[in-house]
Structure 1
Amino acid sequence: MKQAKFSMETVGKVITCRAAIAWTINAPLCIEEVGVDPPKAGEVRIKVISSGICGSENHILDGTFPVPLPAILGHKGAGVVESIGEGVSSVKPGDKVLTLPIPQCRKCDSCLHAKGNCCLKEDAISPVGLMLDGTTRFTCRGRKVHNLFRTSTLTEYTVMHEISVAKIDDAAPLEKVCVLACGFPTGYGAAVNTAQVTPGSTCVVFGLGGVRSAVVLGCRAAGAARIIGIDINEGKLARAKALGVTDCLNPQNFTKPIQQVVVEMTGLGADFTFEAIGTIEMTVAALESCNLSYGVCVILGVSPVKSHLPLDPLKLVSGQTLKGCLLGEYKSRDQIPLLVDDYMKKKIDAESLITHNLPFVKINEGFELL
């Protein structure tokens, strides 16, 4: 793909373009004409070339993960810098970039900690849908429109803080590497960084969609000997085996709880389990599938707001570990570009997460497929 070129005609001016807006929950997205303001100090305006869609956006549209509406959704994107605001130094117009739903300011407590990656300037855990100055850069029909995670990629142009933008290899195919902005690192990093899967181990992955497929790839790369995949969609099982799953289970085919099936299959429970579906029931099942003494359960899924995890503390006293995982524990600006480099060197298979390529006007069809 040739690098986009921009004239000075748009710099400092509002750009009118198309965006997919969520006006309300339980309704299709509407492709509308929007105004995108120029970037302020410390901000970057980006021409979005490609965007992935994610289960978290499904949760927004069905109301289980509320965000301020109207909003332009999308958070894993790839594009080209159109213009920059005052003080921006890490990218310049014409650079290829990934849009990062978790920023890296490199100054806060989390960013300065060796293992922390939940930058305190994030807007993904309890979203307000506005830039750091409390305003938005999008307007439509005379109304202000919120962003998503200070990212918003389901639009032809977006404005983001520099701390959420990562410059990548100029040769990277933007229609492929957009999944490296969130989906792939979230799953892959859950295995190699958060769980630290060990060679010869047994892993269980609850759900076999996009992020969970990346978990499978991470488990395989870490040397897991057995990877058990669990999903109620039989259509996903063949693809899962091609990615490295050794055993496929459909909970609907058993009369007993799936965690009991897993424990019986593995003898004393799995070494590592991963829940990325976003339900309390499956989180409990994942934890109860772990070995009581040394099993590690990693939660990636976005559970409904105000839901609570019913836990028997004695189940943790024996030595099990329950861990959360955000963006695979990658420090976003520092480490996500390195994943792009690994992709370019064919060290990782990010393309296996891509099942369909659709034009922007078919965005609602994309969510139906998801």
Structure 2
Amino acid sequence: MSTAGKVIKCKAAVAWEPKKPISVVEIEVAPPKAHEVRIKLVATGICRTDDHVLTGEIKMNFPIILGHEGAGIVESVGESVTSFKPGDKVIPLCVPQCGKCSVCKTPEGNMCDKIDFFEPRGVMYDGTSRFTCKGKPVHNFVCTSTFSEYTVCHVDSVAKIDAAAPLEKVCLIGCGFSTGYGAAIKTAKVRPGSTCAVFGLGGVGLSVVIGCKSAGASKIIGIDINKDKFPAAQELGATECISPLDFKKPINEVVFDMTDGKGVDYSFEVIGHTDTLIAALASCNMNYGTSIIVGAPPSGTEITISPTLVFTGRTWKGCIFGSLKSKDDIPKLVSDFMAKKFCLDPLITHILPFDKINEGFELLRAGKSIRTVLLFGDEKHTRK
């Protein structure tokens, strides 16, 4: 029986307030309005940014359905939607691409005016939510909310992908992989033969490693206090891995020692901590080095640095979503994955049924997972 045009009751993980466990409850998902699509999620990853909202480090409006790294199938479309149809495989986009604002029209820009992250509203363009629980509205998260069996997105926040793509893998392209890979390939524009240092070897950091290797970097130094992440980093392209806890001197001095006193050409901070942001900047060459901020810093964070760190010529640059233009670049990345230009399997350490979402967060916080992928419905649930 068709569900088009009807309210759908389904399971979703609702966060009622910060610093409390997520509750998997029944919600109602309204039909899509004009220029919107309703998506049946098949898989979603658990990203550190979701956890930052739960801990209160990133401020959002509650109650909220988190999740922004998903993949699914279009269930129905609203009025005036011509670019999607029921049955299309899609990835919801946490960074929209409206194609009309000045940012979208700028070749190097990707932070569309429709982004809902820095001054979050948690509602659709018309100011209302498509989610309700027990008759009360629930906010969405960065235009996606993939911790739900069904979600509704504006067409600006949806990308159609290869019909043969395995959704339980390419869901990572919805955020973590694209953010890291894009930071190396598009933001930094890593050159062949260059040297790189990656601070933080979680799912995004490892994706930076993949990007650096793809770009032809000759030395890729992985840096993390959790040595359990080193084997995966080396498998994906890190030439060596170090822990700051093994040294008495500052880690930026260690990096200089490892590069004959020159510092790396490119450094990437993929954690979001002020101390590692400064260490990453200080690790790159003082004249022509470039340091990229990839990790999302907590709301309200401030940082103080010596001007000499940049006065000599260093470039300090941030990026959202790896500087990728979402609707244009995500389908291309999925095609590259299908063409075996990179592998996502090493990034997925756990596969769990959606009901075990809190277990997935516990694995993330304990440093035991790189990416946990949650599967919905009747999908096969296995632990990798």
- Per the alignment, residue 26 of structure 1 pairs with 19
Residues 44 and 146 in structure 2, CA contact (< 8 A), matched pair in contact too: yes
Cα deviation for residue 316 of structure 1 reads 1.2
TM-score (structure 1 length as normaliser): 0.96
Q: Percent of counterpart pairs with the same letter?
A: 56
Q: Which of 278, 295, 304 is the aligned partner of 2:289? A: 295
Q: Which of 1, 7, 11 is the aligned partner of 2:4? A: 11
Q: Which of 282, 288, 293 is the aligned partner of 2:276? A: 282
Q: CA–CA distance in 2 between the matches of 1:118 and 1:49?
A: 27
TM-score (structure 2 length as normaliser): 0.93
- Per the alignment, residue 309 of structure 1 pairs with 303
- Per the alignment, residue 348 of structure 1 pairs with 342
Task: Note the residue ranges of structure 2 that are not aligned, 5 or more in a row.
Answer: 365-384
Cα deviation for residue 113 of structure 1 reads 0.6
- Per the alignment, residue 129 of structure 1 pairs with 122
- Per the alignment, residue 271 of structure 1 pairs with 265
- Per the alignment, residue 369 of structure 1 pairs with 363
Cα deviation for residue 313 of structure 1 reads 2.1
- Per the alignment, residue 111 of structure 2 pairs with 118
Task: Note the residue ranges of structure 1 that are not aligned, 5 or more in a row.
Answer: 1-6
- What's the CA shift string for 1:190-216, capped at 9, x where partnerless? 001111111111100001110000000
Cα deviation for residue 105 of structure 1 reads 0.4
SS of equivalent residue, structure 2 residue 349: coil
- Per the alignment, residue 181 of structure 2 pairs with 188
Q: CA–CA distance in 2 between the matches of 1:352 and 1:321?
A: 31
- Per the alignment, residue 4 of structure 1 pairs with none
Work out whether 1:206 is the aligned partner of 2:189: no
SS of equivalent residue, structure 1 residue 61: helix
- What's the CA shift string for 1:144-171, capped at 9, x where partnerless? 1000001000100000001100111111
Work out whether 1:360 is the aligned partner of 2:354: yes
Residues 232 and 346 in structure 2, CA contact (< 8 A), matched pair in contact too: no
Q: Flag as ranges the 4+ runs of structure 1 deviating above 6 A.
A: none
Q: CA–CA distance in 2 between the matches of 1:224 and 1:99?
A: 31
Q: Which of 333, 342, 349 is the aligned partner of 1:339? A: 333
Equivalent residues in 2 for 1:247-262, closer than 5 Å: 247-262=240-255
Equivalent residues in 2 for 1:229-248, closer than 5 Å: 229-248=222-241
Cα deviation for residue 41 of structure 1 reads 0.6
- Per the alignment, residue 379 of structure 2 pairs with none
- What's the CA shift string for 1:60-93, capped at 9, x where partnerless? 1111111111100000110010111111111111
Q: Please report the RMSD computed on the Cα atoms of aligned residues, expressed in angstroms.
A: 0.9
Q: CA–CA distance in 2 between the matches of 1:68 and 1:265?
A: 45
Q: CA–CA distance in 2 between the matches of 1:311 and 1:135?
A: 42
Residues 92 and 157 in structure 2, CA contact (< 8 A), matched pair in contact too: yes
Work out whether 1:71 is the aligned partner of 2:61: no
Cα deviation for residue 362 of structure 1 reads 0.6
Cα deviation for residue 28 of structure 1 reads 1.2
- The letter for the 2-side match of 1:160 is C
Q: CA–CA distance in 1 between the matches of 2:204 and 2:56?
A: 21
Q: Which of 194, 199, 208 is the aligned partner of 1:215? A: 208
Residues 180 and 350 in structure 1, CA contact (< 8 A), matched pair in contact too: no
Q: CA–CA distance in 2 between the matches of 1:272 and 1:208?
A: 16
Cα deviation for residue 264 of structure 1 reads 1.9
Cα deviation for residue 352 of structure 1 reads 2.5
Name which of structure 1's ranges 160-169 and 134-143 shifts more when overlaid on structure 2: 134-143
Q: Which of 318, 323, 326 is the aligned partner of 1:329? A: 323
Q: CA–CA distance in 2 between the matches of 1:276 and 1:128?
A: 26
Cα deviation for residue 142 of structure 1 reads 2.2
Q: CA–CA distance in 1 between the matches of 2:29 and 2:225?
A: 42
Work out whether 1:149 is the aligned partner of 2:142: yes
Cα deviation for residue 12 of structure 1 reads 1.2
Q: CA–CA distance in 1 between the matches of 2:116 and 2:33?
A: 18
Cα deviation for residue 320 of structure 1 reads 0.4
Cα deviation for residue 311 of structure 1 reads 2.1
Residues 34 and 79 in structure 2, CA contact (< 8 A), matched pair in contact too: yes
Residues 21 and 70 in structure 1, CA contact (< 8 A), matched pair in contact too: yes
Residues 269 and 294 in structure 2, CA contact (< 8 A), matched pair in contact too: yes
Q: CA–CA distance in 1 between the matches of 2:209 and 2:93?
A: 23
Q: CA–CA distance in 2 between the matches of 1:307 and 1:145?
A: 27
